[in-house]
Amino acid sequence: MQLKHIVLAALSSIAFAHLPAQAAGLTQYQAKAVSNYATTQYPLVMAHGFGLGFSRIGTQMLGLDYWYQILPDLARNGATVFAAEMSAVESTEVRGEQLLQQVDEVMALTGKEKVNLIGHSHGGPTIQYIEGVAPEKVASMTAVAGAMKGTKLADVMIESKFLDPIAEVVFGLLGKSIALIQSNPQLSVDYEGSMQSLSTTGIIAFNAKYGSAAIPKDCNSQGQKQTADGIYHYSWMGNQQITNPLDVIDTSIVALGTTLLKSKDHDGLVSLCSGRYGQVIRQDYKHNHFDEINHFFGIQGIFAQDPVAIYRQHANRLKLQGL
C-alpha cells in the first residue's frame, strides 16, 4: 500500500504536456451529416467501462476515442451523440452520479427531456443506476457486453492474495493516469470499490437497490424490453476471446481474462449470462470485449462484423422506435 501511495504521488506531479488535452468532462461529436439514418429523437450518451475506460484522449482530430471511429460515424449519419467521462476505476454508484451530472448537461445543451444511454462493460451497471434514481430522464438503455450481473474476474481478484494487491497498484495507477491525461484529475480512483461493485455479492446488492425488470432472472431468458417506467432496454455482445493475434494489447488482456475465467461462455472478460439485458439482439458476434468498441485501433478478426455498422444500425433501431 505504501508503494502505491508513493507511485501515485509521483505520477500526480507529471504534467503530460506532450499530450493534446480535451476539456474535462462531456465530449460532443460533431460532423457534417451525410444522412439522417441515425437521427434519433433523443441524444445518445455513451458510458465507458472499467480500467481502460475514457471518453477521449487528445483532440477530435488527433486524439484517441474509447468508442473508436464509432461516434464520428454516428454523427455523420445524423446522430446527436456525446461521450460521457467517468472515473475509470470506481464504484458503480460514484460513476453513476458522475454520469447523471452529464446527462443533465446533455439535456440542457440539447433542450431534450430524455437521453438514450449506451454502456459498455462496467458502463452497463452505470447506466442502470440512472434508471434507478432518475428514470424520467431516460428513453432507452443499451448494454454492450454489460456486466449486469457482475463478472467472476472481480471475484477472482478479491479472493486472490497474490493478484489483488498487484491489481490494486496497477489499476490505481491506470485510473489516475487516465484522469490526468484527460485533464480531469479530480476524477476519483477506488480500486476496492470497483471490484466490490463488479463482484457477485456486490452486484446482487446493487441490483436489489437499483435493479430493473430488464435484467433476466436466469441465463436462458430475456429481460423486459420495455419496463413499467416506459424505458426501452437492449443488449448485444460477442462470444469470442482471441480474435486477432496481431492485436497485441487486445490479445494479452483477453488471454489473461480467459485464463482466469476458465470457461468459454464469455467475450474474454464478461460472461454471456451477465451480458443479457432487455431485448437481447445478439450474443454471437465474432468479437471479444475490445472488438465490441472497435479497439484496439479497429483491428478485427477474419469474418468479424463491423462494430461501427452495428452501432449505426442500433441508432436506426432507436429512431424507428421513436426514441
Which residues are annotated as catalytic? 121, 267, 289
Contacts of 233 (CB under 8 A, 6+ apart): 140, 141, 142, 143, 212, 214, 223, 224, 225, 226, 227, 277, 278, 279
Nearest partner of 315 among 130, 120, 44, 111, judged by Cα: 44
Distance CA 76, CA 32 (A): 6
Q: How many CB atoms lie within 10 A of CB 122?
A: 29
**Contact at 8 Å (CB) between 117 and 189?**
no
Element (H, E) at 308: helix 307-320
Rounded to the nearest 5°, which phi and psi values hold at 168?
Answer: -60, -40
Rounded to the nearest 5°, which phi and psi values hold at 235?
Answer: -155, 155
For residue 39, count CB atoms less than 10 angstroms from its CB and return exposed for 0-12, middle for 13-18, buried for 19 or more.
middle
User: Cα–chain-centroid distance for residue 183?
Assistant: 20
- Beta strand spans in the chain (E): 27-29, 44-47, 56-57, 64-65, 81-83, 115-120, 138-144, 232-238, 279-285
Distance CA 114, CA 211 (A): 20
Contacts of 307 (CB under 8 A, 6+ apart): 70, 287, 291, 292, 293, 294, 300
